[in-house]
């Protein structure tokens, strides 16, 4: 994601060059996150009008919908990095894929959790076997599978390759799972309530939701860059540049790794 | 055994290698019949637990029967996945297979077919008995068999990719279920959906076509993914 604005693709594809670049970018993305989050939350909680049907509880969608969007987007981005990593053997792409997974799982969980809290006052139950809820739950399973496979393999290169392959298999299956779950739902006629919101949404609501989405997006970039810096240090710890860097910065951390 | 595969693999054509692989895996499975029977009995026991756990009422059981049998088939298939590559990995014959001049995906297909013949087909053949135990009627049982016949090969094919990915990995047996079960969901939904539709007198041909489509897609894609995963594991 962050690499796209840079002209020197190949230069920054090397973990050694990306590490300082990421370090410089992180404060900017955190700044954007905080500003957008403050504006978005202000709009959501103070400016947006109360929904005439759902009351105040509808305001949870300002967290819920962006989280659900991000959970799917992150899986796609992760699979894209997995393809790049497998096809062109770009180590940084593997690292980005593994750095994205925990945040994706977190957003999936957040979407399910906030969905449950929204469902209780609106539908009268925390959980229904609705097509969207079910496919979001399966998405969480896919994330957890990716993370578990990666942590089960000790050799980092093999772990990256195996989990990349799994992410690709998962992303091919995702539409099949989604459509079959949707079809299953219409067959079983379980939930009579539909999660679709009122067709006409006030502009201010939509604006707030979009700002929150961008805020979550910036947060994702910031946290993923932080995580990928850790992963770079961990996987490149045998290289001279990391040794020099750690020798300068944190001696204690280096000793801890030995 | 692997000598036979290797010689026929090098001298003969692709089909000879494929057939040698199939015959070899079937022979190995027949020499260890207990392994095969274990996963079959798991299938039977899981299904028998439901009347004990839910209710012995036939009307209740009849409603859940297709789902119960399908879920049990999923679990039984998953338990037998470990056998597919683990032994070959341990004794080194897997590395020899990678060295053969034939595409690895075709050899994988032979292994998957052997796996299905040993652990998928028996499930299909046993399902009428379990269906009757749960109070299913004749026509529904026939439909259940057809869905299992179309669906269990897909389970073996997808499972092969999962088994190859977790080869030689810490806690691979548990991990493979975590990776594979979410991918089994579409097959489960469409398989049970067909039987449910048949029971309630609706059209089920669409379901069967979809199951067939899953089988074709899985046949075309999963051997490639499995071969890639095997190369990663053996590296």
Query: Nearest by CB to B169, which of A142, A145, A153?
Result: A153
Would you mind telling me the total number of residues written for chain B in this entry? 235
Percent of chain A at pLDDT > 90 equals 43
Which of chain B's residues have a Cβ under 8 Å away from the Cβ of A162?
Answer: 165, 229, 232-233
What was the pLDDT predicted at A250?
Answer: 55
Buried b (16+ CB within 10 A) or exposed e, B168-199: ebeebeebbbbbbbbbbbbbbbbbbbbbbbbb
Which contacts qualify for A91-95: CB closer than 8 Å, 24 or more apart?
A91/A15, A91/A160, A91/A235, A92/A13, A92/A14, A92/A15, A92/A18, A92/A228, A92/A232, A93/A13, A94/A157, A94/A160, A94/A161, A94/A164, A95/A15, A95/A160, A95/A228, A95/A231, A95/A232, A95/A235
What was the pLDDT predicted at A190?
Answer: 46
* Mean confidence (pLDDT) of chain A: 83
What was the pLDDT predicted at B114?
Answer: 94
Which residues of chain B register pLDDT less than 50?
A: 1-2, 9
CB contact under 8 A, A166 and B190: no
Domain positions in chain A are 17-191+202-257
Structure tokens at B9: 């693999």
What was the pLDDT predicted at A11?
Answer: 79
Do the interacting molecules here have an ipTM over 0.90?
A: no
What was the pLDDT predicted at A111?
Answer: 92
Query: Nearest by CB to A169, which of B161, B189, B235?
Result: B161
Q: Which residues of B touch A (CB under 8 A)?
A: 161, 165-166, 169-172, 175, 178-179, 181-183, 185-186, 189-190, 193, 196-197, 214, 221, 225, 228-229, 232-233, 235
Beta bridge partners of A55: A51
In this structure, of A91-105, A199-213, A223-237, B190-204, the range with the lowest mean pLDDT score is: A199-213
pLDDT tens for A44-96 read 888 887 776 777 778 888 899 899 999 999 999 999 999 999 988 888 999 99
Q: Which band of pLDDT confidence, cut at 50, 70 and 90, is reported for residue A188? A: low
Which of chain A's residues have a Cβ under 8 Å away from the Cβ of B164?
Answer: none
Q: Which of A131, A145, A148 to mutate to test the interface with B (most CBs of B within 10 A)?
A: A145
Q: Which band of pLDDT confidence, cut at 50, 70 and 90, is reported for residue A202? A: confident
Q: Which residue has the higher pLDDT, A222 or A198?
A: A222
Give the nearest chain A residue to B187 (CA atoms): A180
A124-138, A197-211, A212-226, range with greatest mean pLDDT:
A212-226
Report pTM: 0.86
pLDDT tens for A150-177 read 999 888 888 999 999 999 999 988 888 8
Percent of chain A at pLDDT > 70 equals 85
**H or E element: which one contains B102?**
none
Query: Nearest by CB to A169, which of B178, B214, B225?
Result: B225
């Amino acid at each position: 994601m962050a690499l796209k604005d840079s002209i020197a693709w190949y230069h920054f594809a090397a973990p050694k060059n990306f590490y300082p670049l990421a370090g410089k970018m992180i404060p900017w993305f955190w700044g954007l996150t905080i500003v957008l989050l403050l504006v978005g939350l202000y709009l959501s909680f103070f400016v947006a009008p109360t929904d005439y049907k759902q009351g105040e509880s509808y305001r949870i969608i300002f967290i819920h919908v962006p989280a659900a969007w991000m959970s799917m987007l992150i899986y796609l981005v992760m699979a894209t990095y997995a393809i790049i990593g497998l096809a062109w053997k770009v180590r940084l792409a593997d690292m980005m894929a593994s750095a994205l997974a925990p945040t994706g799982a977190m957003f999936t969980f957040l979407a399910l959790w906030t969905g449950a809290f929204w469902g209780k006052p609106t539908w009268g139950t925390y959980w229904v076997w609705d097509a969207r809820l079910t496919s979001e739950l399966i998405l969480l399973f896919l994330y957890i599978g990716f993370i578990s496979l990666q942590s089960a393999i000790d050799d980092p290169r093999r772990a990256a390759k195996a989990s990349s392959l799994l992410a690709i298999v998962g992303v091919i299956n995702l539409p099949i799972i989604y459509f079959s779950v949707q079809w299953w739902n219409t067959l079983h006629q379980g939930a009579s309530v539909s999660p679709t919101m009122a067709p006409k949404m006030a502009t201010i609501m939509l604006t707030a939701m979009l700002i929150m989405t961008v805020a979550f997006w910036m947060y994702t970039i910031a946290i993923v860059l932080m995580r990928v810096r850790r992963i770079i240090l961990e996987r490149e710890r045998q290289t001279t540049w990391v040794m020099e860097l750690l020798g300068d910065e944190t001696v204690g951390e280096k000793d801890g790794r030995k | 055994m692997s000598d036979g595969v290797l010689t026929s693999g090098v001298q003969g054509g692709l089909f000879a290698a494929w057939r040698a692989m199939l015959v070899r895996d079937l022979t190995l499975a027949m020499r260890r019949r207990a392994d095969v029977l274990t996963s079959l009995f798991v299938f039977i026991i899981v299904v028998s637990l439901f009347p004990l756990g839910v209710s012995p009422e036939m009307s209740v059981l009849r409603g859940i029967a297709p789902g119960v049998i399908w879920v049990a088939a999923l679990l039984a298939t998953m338990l037998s996945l470990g056998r597919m590559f683990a032994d070959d990995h341990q004794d080194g014959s897997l590395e020899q297979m990678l060295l053969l001049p034939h595409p690895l995906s075709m050899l994988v297909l032979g292994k998957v077919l052997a796996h299905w013949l040993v652990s998928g087909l028996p499930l299909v053949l046993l399902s009428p008995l379990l269906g009757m135990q749960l109070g299913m009627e004749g026509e529904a049982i026939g439909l259940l068999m057809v869905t299992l016949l179309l669906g269990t090969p897909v389970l073996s094919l997808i499972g092969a990719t999962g088994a190859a990915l977790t080869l030689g990995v810490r806690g691979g047996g548990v991990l493979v279920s975590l990776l594979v079960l979410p991918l089994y969901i579409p097959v489960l939904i469409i398989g049970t959906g067909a039987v449910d539709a048949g029971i309630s007198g609706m059209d089920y041909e669409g379901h069967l076509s979809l199951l067939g489509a899953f089988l074709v897609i899985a046949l075309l894609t999963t051997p490639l993914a499995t071969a890639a995963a095997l190369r990663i594991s053996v590296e």
